[in-house]
A and B are shown apart, each in its own frame.
Chain A
Amino acid sequence: MSENHGANMDINFILLGLSHKTAPLEVREKLSIPQDRIADHLRSLNRHNEIREAMILSTCNRTEIYVVSDNVQRAFEILLEKFSQLATHINVDIGPLLYKLEGKEAMRHFFHVTSSLDAMVVGEAQILGQVREAYLLAEGAGSIGSFFHYLAPKAFNVAKKIRTDTEIARHPVSVSYVAVQLAEQIFGDLFDKSVLLIGAGEMTQLAALHFQEKKISQLYLTNRTHERAVELGKEFSAISIPFENFISHMSHVDIVITSTSAESYLIFEKDVLEIMKQRKNKTMFLIDIAVPRNIDPRVNDVSNVYLYDLDDLKGIVDENLIVRQGEAKHAEEIVDKELSGFIQYLRQQSMAPTISQLSKKFEAIRRAEVVKLLSKSLSWTDNQKNAIDEATQAIKNKFLHDPIMTLKTDGIIEEGHRTIDFIKRLFRLEAD
């Protein structure tokens, strides 16, 4: 287990990894580390003296190892060995697929990953949870210390800020989720709405899951093969209805999703006109994700009926992807600003012990001199003693004010640990 070294600025934070940007899926899936094996890998990394803290992030799109080390060169060698071990069973030279980053760039990358700016689908929400999980795993394995306890919560905050201050997450980029969002835009809360799924394809099941997350009142399901509908009905807690008369059920459902392999239309304008009469014109949303289409496009002409087919939904997905790319630039600006603030904070943290030592040394000198002065005579009155104490306090504070302020400013802090060493040598702080 790593020691707690404090957020010291001479800590070197490095990363070695590969992602969807550098490695094909067949390599990524081989190098992906199962969740139950991560703790073992972290412990094996921690056995090296050069590794102070370590965290592994392994998802379907990336495997990255983040490390805090005093010896960057050696730490990279250790990480490379680790990746080589992982790649022993594949016949690919992974060297060119790996990227290595250190210091500020590694931190920026970590912020980008956590904020979903480095994701395959920019802005997707899953990655934040995965980084959180990786952080908790590392904490559980005892492989991280104070640096990660500063870095990770900060990265989570930045990710949250990006999600609230930009449009990056507000534009869904999957067909089924676009359908759900459209339904919400039409109906508002979906808790009192019922949904009918016609067909039992993969897309329909995905849409069913998304709608169920919205706590819809009832899910109905129909399929040409009734047994399949019954089977799926059990899986989704849905009521299965016979395929032959699903039209008659449509008058009491608000949302219909079709994805059968029928060669011709299943739902026509005249059917929907009749259904709308029975529904007293209550709004209806029809989603046709079948190819070829299952619903006559003229249905969209009926008042208070909205029909979207696969192309319509894909069109929205494409537009949303463009919006997300645009928002990513704004998000990167947020990351840069937050990163600068974070690095400054780390530097100030690293100066704190030196400032404290300096203050203590001056205070010790002052006290010693005051005691020496007071011991020279027994005739000091209390008022005189207080006056001497206050005056020497004021002198000490005025002496220290400028050096401390300068230490806290960026100019000196930019010099890093050399400044700290210089101050320590100048005032012989270590010796004391």
Chain B
Amino acid sequence: MAPWLFWVVCGIYFLTTLAYLMYVVFGTRHLAQIALYLLLIGFGFHTVSFYHDVISQGYPYLYNQTDALQLVSWVSIILFLILKSKFQFQGAGAYFTPIALIFLVLSTFYNTSYHFEGNILASPWVVIHLFLVFIAFAIFLASMVVGIIFIMMESQVKHKRIRLFFQRLPSLDMLDIIHYRALTVGFIFLSLGILAGSMLSKDIRGVYLSEDPKQIWVLCMWFFFAILLNSHFRSGSRGRKGILLSLIGFASFVILVLVFLSIRHV
């Protein structure tokens, strides 16, 4: 992303965040409208520069940390727009826009290009694998944000301390539904990402599953989410406990991504 464009997008996302926060606090609908227009302008610039980056860099896209973080930022905005249009969850802008902004700003700090070992770049699976995993990460992140909003709101309802912002949020049931839907979609992307990863492993190591601690970790995480979703759909695990468990699973995903972002050799 061209530096000036990067700061324009950051500036617009910052203003959008302020507008959404003010909307959540004061409840003025005009503010939500202004925030949405700002967001769409910022997202337009973001998309154009994103497209430009992909085209100008050519293959291999996602070869550095910056690309990965900017992808998460871009997907976060898309997810918010889906939440807004499908669930009328305007207030989510106060959470998702700052997340997109934080990931954009982080992308300037984490800007190291990876050193791809051996003939790894010869395999097309590397980009597919990274793309799917980072999209899964963004969707899981969205699911967790909604889960945290649920926990805060549930605590207010449970302890009868209903305060500010209460009326700008969807119902508890709706938050629970959004959380699990996002978790399910994220899980599908994660599963596809893991499959692409095993194809990559086969290409470069000759085996689908090696003893790489990352692979073992990912598999454990996959089983954890699989059990969690199974218990949700089969036996009705829901509400606070289910969300707390999914947050534990997500923490392991965050650790994995941090490990990946801190290494130089892939």
Binding site for B on A (CB under 8 A): 164-165, 167, 170, 182, 184-188, 279-283, 300, 303-304, 306, 308, 312, 315-316
Q: Is B58 an interface residue when CB atoms closer than 8 A count as contact?
A: no
Cβ A188 vs Cβ B171 within 8 A: yes
Expressed in whole angstroms, the Cα–Cα distance for A279 and B235 within the complex equals 10
> In the complex, which of the residues A185, A187, A281, A308 contacts B236, with contact meaning CB atoms closer than 8 Å?
A281
For residue A51, give the distance in angstroms from its CB to the closest CB of chain B: 42
Known: A185-B172, A282-B238. 6 other contacts (CB 8 A): A185-B166, A186-B157, A188-B173, A281-B238, A283-B239, A312-B160
Closest to B168 in A: A170
Query: Which chain B residues (205-238) contact chain A, with CB distance < 8 Å?
Result: 235-238
Cβ B157 vs Cβ A164 within 8 A: no
Task: Report A-chain residues with C-beta under 8 Å of the C-beta of B236.
Answer: 279-282
Cβ A184 vs Cβ B29 within 8 A: no
Cβ B157 vs Cβ A182 within 8 A: yes
Closest to A181 in B: B167
Query: Which chain B residues (171-188) contact chain A, with CB distance < 8 Å?
Result: 171-174
Closest to A283 in B: B173
Q: Is B82 an interface residue when CB atoms closer than 8 A count as contact?
A: no
Cβ B235 vs Cβ A306 within 8 A: no
Cβ A316 vs Cβ B235 within 8 A: no
Number of interface residues of B (CB under 8 A): 21
Cβ A304 vs Cβ B239 within 8 A: yes
Binding site for A on B (CB under 8 A): 27-29, 157-158, 160, 162, 166-167, 170-174, 235-241
Cβ A170 vs Cβ B167 within 8 A: yes
Given A164-B29, A170-B167, A281-B237, decide whether A306 and B173 contact each other with a Cβ distance below 8 A.
no
> In the complex, which of the residues B27, B158, B171 contacts A185, with contact meaning CB atoms closer than 8 Å?
B171
Task: Report A-chain residues with C-beta under 8 Å of the C-beta of B239.
Answer: 281, 283, 303-304
Expressed in whole angstroms, the Cα–Cα distance for A186 and B169 within the complex equals 11
Task: Report A-chain residues with C-beta under 8 Å of the C-beta of B158.
Answer: 300, 306
Cβ B27 vs Cβ A184 within 8 A: no
Closest to B162 in A: A316
Expressed in whole angstroms, the Cα–Cα distance for A190 and B62 within the complex equals 46
Task: Report B-chain residues with C-beta under 8 Å of the C-beta of A282.
Answer: 236, 238
Task: Report B-chain residues with C-beta under 8 Å of the C-beta of A170.
Answer: 27, 167
For residue B127, give the distance in angstroms from its CB to the closest CB of chain A: 40
Cβ B241 vs Cβ A167 within 8 A: no
Given A303-B240, A306-B157, decide whether A184 and B162 contact each other with a Cβ distance below 8 A.
no
For residue A82, give the distance in angstroms from its CB to the closest CB of chain B: 43
Closest to B172 in A: A186
Expressed in whole angstroms, the Cα–Cα distance for A59 and B176 within the complex equals 45
Expressed in whole angstroms, the Cα–Cα distance for A304 and B172 within the complex equals 10
Expressed in whole angstroms, the Cα–Cα distance for A308 and B236 within the complex equals 24
Task: Report A-chain residues with C-beta under 8 Å of the C-beta of B167.
Answer: 170, 185
For residue B46, give the distance in angstroms from its CB to the closest CB of chain A: 32
